[in-house]
Amino acid sequence: MEEILLKVEHVSKNFGATKALEDVSFTIKKGTIHSLLGRNGAGKSTVVNIIAGIYKQNSGIVTLEGNDITPYSVFERQNMGVKIVPQHASIVPELTVGENVFMGIWPRKKSGFVDWEKLFVDAGEELRKYGLDVDPKEKVRNLNGVDQRKVNIIRAMHGGAKLIILDEPTTALSSVERQELFVFVNELKAKGTAFIFISHYLQEVVELSDDVTVIRDGRSFSGSEGGGLNEERLASLIAGGEVELINREKLPDNSGRELLLECRNISGHILKDVSVKLYRGEITGLVGFPGSGARELCRTLFGLDKMTEGEIRTGGSGKVSIHSPSDAMKNGISYVSYDRHKEGIVGLMSIRENISLPSLYTTLKNKLGFVDMEKSRAISEHYFELFHVKANSTDDKLGSLSGGNQQKVVVAKTVSTGPKLLMLDEPTIGIDIKSREEIIENINKIAEEDNTSVLYLTNDFDELIRTVDRILFFKNGRLEKDVRNLGLSHEDVINIRDSVG
């Protein structure tokens, strides 16, 4: 019989008049992976913060190995073995691996100075203990994404970890890196460490989890009972009802479609002699490992990466020069960047101001050269409603919204410019399933009703094959294969990606 490590019993939490959690209960067993699911704003973060000791519950009890840990602080709970690896990595890129592993507890000499020799020797032993083959003196910024995640987990393991909370650990990892991380986590699990795993990717939740708890509207629901783990059941539990996964009818070919843009033998950052034609009303998927050229194609077409050879031609006006995002937008090309926090949102500005930003110096100018506030409000209200953004009004600060609603605004802002070519880099990453399907639904409408050409980049291959008409496979900067999406499966996409080049 599996031993119980942690119990959350009838926990409730209020923030003023707002009830964030109500009667939440679940049990985590030693040496298991327990996934915690829910829409953005459902209460997952509140549960985690209560377990970690950041928040105190208003009622209920949290026990670790049978002992009530409510009175203990965050630091005391860490010493008891409850650790968090946050979504936005807490590593310091400019420091070495060893410095990051022992962050805050660097060994010191009697003089009070850091004992660097001991730090790197001890760090090397920790890395070998957990099977990470990297130099402890290497700067963390030089590691790949999955090794950076491992460094974070090893830091949590140092000093003894009974329970590690992994908050969206696979964000920005390729499918291969995700599998490597899962192997690493399962090895630690086999040695007795338990994990709380937070993710919006239901496929990896089903693959990795022993148990699942869904938080919806502040209440807890077991996802492990009554039929076992499957994506459809979890999606319904998260949404509080059936969620229809959108699967658009695919275009069999390009016959009769207007050529929008053609890349002829373009080279530049990563890209090598890439030629491709993009058509109006077609959604084209991009697949490849990091640095393969898939993301770089989008960045080059938007003027973020320099093109050194080749040319870009449009169907109607011939050759175009794109040296900056401004050039791209003048030619009807828009881009939703992968990193919305750095490049997509201005959290202190309102929803209306964010949606209006790309059009401030173009369509929103009146005859006197000032911003037409009435038009700005009308446009923002239209896209606010179209994307079902959950907020009181467009005057709410964007930073106050959940991640899913922030992402809706990012896509809405880009779409509001009326692009001919819309490029989307991980548009649904890190958001709940209902928000994801709403975004996909609107992207389909934009392609079909506005005759917009769409480039769609995602590591979620199930989402990809539900959405796109064809897939471009990249490797080592080259476009290796162009495949129509007619009956492709998740496994087909992986097999083609791994076999090209």
Q: 226 by DSSP, 3-state: which? A: coil
DSSP structural state of residue 359: G
Q: What is the pLDDT of residues 118-150, one digit of tens each?
A: 999 999 999 998 989 999 999 999 998 889 989
Which of 132, 119, 230 lies closest to 181, judged by CA? Answer: 132
| Dist. CA 334–CA 415, nearest whole Å | 8
pLDDT at residue 291 in the model: 87
The pLDDT confidence band at residue 362, using thresholds 50, 70 and 90, is low
What is the percent of the chain where pLDDT is above 70?
94
- Beta bridge partner(s), residue 311: 264
| Dist. CA 296–CA 258, nearest whole Å | 25
pLDDT at residue 220 in the model: 93
Range in 75-84, 225-234, 334-343 with the lowest mean pLDDT: 225-234
Q: What is the pLDDT of residues 244-260, one digit of tens each?
A: 778 888 988 888 899 99
The pLDDT confidence band at residue 1, using thresholds 50, 70 and 90, is low
- Which domains are seen in the chain, by residue range? 4-239 (3.40.50.300), 258-332+420-430+452-501 (3.40.50.300), 339-417 (no CATH)
Which of 480, 484, 483, 485 lies closest to 499, judged by CA? Answer: 480
Q: Is residue 226 over pLDDT 60? A: no
Lateral strand order in the sheet of 478-484:
333-336, 421-425, 453-457, 283-287, 470-475, 478-484
Mean pLDDT of 92-106: 90
The pLDDT confidence band at residue 213, using thresholds 50, 70 and 90, is very high
The pLDDT confidence band at residue 422, using thresholds 50, 70 and 90, is very high
Range in 278-287, 314-323, 444-453 with the lowest mean pLDDT: 314-323
Mean pLDDT of 227-239: 78
Mean pLDDT of 478-496: 92
Q: Is residue 206 over pLDDT 70? A: yes
pLDDT at residue 357 in the model: 80
Q: Is residue 234 over pLDDT 80? A: yes
* Alpha-carbon distance values, 123 to 79, 96, 132, 191, 408 (Å): 19, 10, 11, 20, 42
What is the percent of the chain where pLDDT is above 90?
52
Q: Is residue 236 over pLDDT 90? A: no
pLDDT at residue 368 in the model: 65
The pLDDT confidence band at residue 367, using thresholds 50, 70 and 90, is low
Q: Is residue 383 over pLDDT 60? A: yes
Torsion angle, alpha carbons of 82, 85, 86, 88, to 10: 170
pLDDT at residue 240 in the model: 80
| Dist. CA 371–CA 359, nearest whole Å | 9
Q: What is the pLDDT of residues 338-350, one digit of tens each?
A: 876 666 677 778 8
Read off the pTM: 0.69
Which of 296, 305, 302 lies closest to 261, judged by CA? Answer: 302
The pLDDT confidence band at residue 97, using thresholds 50, 70 and 90, is very high
The strand pair at 478-484 and 259-268 is best described as unpaired
